[in-house]
Structure 1
């Protein structure tokens, strides 16, 4: 069992990150209606940076040694994937709703695989390609099931789709840069997550200066809301990015991003438990995606 975990630690980390992000998305879909995307990204990033610094301090690696090139690649990854990608994701979520947002996000894994093959010379086996295809097909079917679709999810379609494409491209580019930085270096996933977060959060104030008219800021005065944001940041940013970086260090970028895109599968049991009607398409899509996951672990 331990040998199996060690062999597939990158893939298991990606699935764990998908689960954590699925649970967090439920919270962010509601919080995002009260806090603007850029502000929400800045707050969650600030919380996560503090948590990672505490963790590194407790582990005695407060200032981890990272090669210069890896440091630069991780910083660029953070600016692209977190600074731009997460903000675009929250914009998409506000305009399309969770279902269509996650559908657009399925563009990220194939884009990541294409970039990794082009720039990192990664090679995917035929079985892996088939597994990735099954997962993407299954996730798309789960999300496109219209049984529980709400009228709000049909608004702002054009703007939301554009933000979604920007988010998918940013996430793909950020993942490939992280993979290049971590794969063959002594940099740890946690230190990589710290560099990405610092760079991603640092660029957000510059965005505010660059587009002052497009950025709204709402004061958060409720202690309860701050508590919700802190808990959400712990799971969605601190823990999920740590797991994502672990996955990118030990698994091919395309495989990592594909498994990370299985979040909708973890939402299904929660939706069913809360009384939401789950259609046959969603069930069949989940079965196809699970079969694809099985192929990646074969």
Structure 2
């Protein structure tokens, strides 16, 4: 069985994100998505600036030596894959609900694989393809929980995100867009995430992880401010007058975003983008298991089947 650094980081990223989902699930009740997005990205930026000089693996032994095109790609990846994609995702999520968006989110891995084949010349072997099928089957089983159960407990009905992202169930549902428009916006957000990670893959391979992550965060924060300004929602970015659980926010930002993002990008740096994308789908396993252990929610036959299928797929993915 082959478990390299990239594969290990991808699985650890999924686990860290799952912890973040549990924490963000509680925070999002008190803060609008854009406010929470700006706060968590700003905290992660401060964490990265504090840690970056101390960890040689992150800064590569000195100041960045990126070319202008590489820096532009990193900034653009944050703008597209975090700021713009999150905005479209939240809009669709508010209209469709987390359960349907969880299913739409399953298109992430196929899109990354397709883009990796077209632009990165990656190929999956037969065992990896079989593992991909099992992983996606397990995720679909978990995502398609009975509606009555999701409505009753309100916890597991979360978007099974392909990368670190905030759930936003409490955003006011926009009544001016149709169901079809919301579906298209949701698909567009997932497509932007896939494009953002594939476009930055060569830069990740050539440059230190910390500098790439830093530029992505700067692009994301700048993008959020611009989007809020264009929508006339700059005031919503401020937490003034809102109840903020800072301890929980710090924990969520550190585990669910800071660690998760570094591990996530590290996975893409050290293994094929298509492999990393599929292994990231194991977040669904960790979310279900943590909800079972942490929130005392029943696992059930459907959850156990989904976990088993996904674990089987991961074993096949790492078998060669």
TM-score tier by shorter-chain length is 0.7 to 0.9
Do residues 130 (structure 1) and 157 (structure 2) align? no
Q: Unaligned stretches of 5+ in structure 1?
A: none
1:190/1:245 contact within 8 Å kept: no
Q: Secondary structure at the match of 1:246?
A: helix
Do residues 258 (structure 1) and 278 (structure 2) align? yes
Do residues 148 (structure 1) and 149 (structure 2) align? yes
Counterpart Cα distance in 1 of 2:124 and 2:73: 23
Do residues 165 (structure 1) and 161 (structure 2) align? no
Q: Deviations over 1:155-214 (max 9, x none)?
A: 96937644532331121111101212223x1x1222211111111111111101211169
2:289/2:299 contact within 8 Å kept: no
Greater alpha carbon shift after TM alignment, 264-273 vs 238-247:
264-273
Q: How do 1:1-298 and structure 2 match up within 5 A?
A: 8-59=4-55, 61=59, 63-91=63-91, 98-146=98-146, 148-150=149-151, 158=179, 161-183=183-205, 185=206, 187-212=207-232, 216-217=236-237, 219-220=239-240, 225-273=245-293, 274-298=295-319
* Distance of aligned partners of 1:144 and 1:106 in 2 relative to their CA distance in 1, 3 Å threshold: same
* Distance of aligned partners of 1:210 and 1:221 in 2 relative to their CA distance in 1, 3 Å threshold: closer
Counterpart Cα distance in 2 of 1:41 and 1:52: 16
CA RMSD after TM alignment: 2.8
Q: Secondary structure at the match of 2:66?
A: coil
Greater alpha carbon shift after TM alignment, 28-37 vs 42-51:
28-37
Q: Secondary structure at the match of 2:296?
A: coil
Instruction: From the two aligned structures, give the one with the greater helix fraction.
Output: 1
Q: Secondary structure at the match of 1:107?
A: helix
Counterpart Cα distance in 2 of 1:213 and 1:52: 27
Counterpart Cα distance in 2 of 1:106 and 1:19: 17
2:30/2:244 contact within 8 Å kept: no
Counterpart Cα distance in 2 of 1:38 and 1:293: 34
The Cα shift of 1:143 comes to: 1.6
1:189/1:246 contact within 8 Å kept: yes
Q: TM-score normalized by structure 2?
A: 0.81
Counterpart Cα distance in 2 of 1:137 and 1:230: 34
Q: Secondary structure at the match of 1:145?
A: coil
Counterpart Cα distance in 2 of 1:279 and 1:99: 17
Greater alpha carbon shift after TM alignment, 197-206 vs 24-33:
24-33
2:35/2:239 contact within 8 Å kept: no
The Cα shift of 1:285 comes to: 1.6
1:143/1:282 contact within 8 Å kept: no
The Cα shift of 1:91 comes to: 4.6
Aligned residues: 292
Counterpart Cα distance in 2 of 1:214 and 1:77: 23
1:44/1:229 contact within 8 Å kept: yes
Q: Unaligned stretches of 5+ in structure 2?
A: 158-168
Greater alpha carbon shift after TM alignment, 253-262 vs 98-107:
98-107
2:30/2:242 contact within 8 Å kept: no
Q: Secondary structure at the match of 1:42?
A: helix
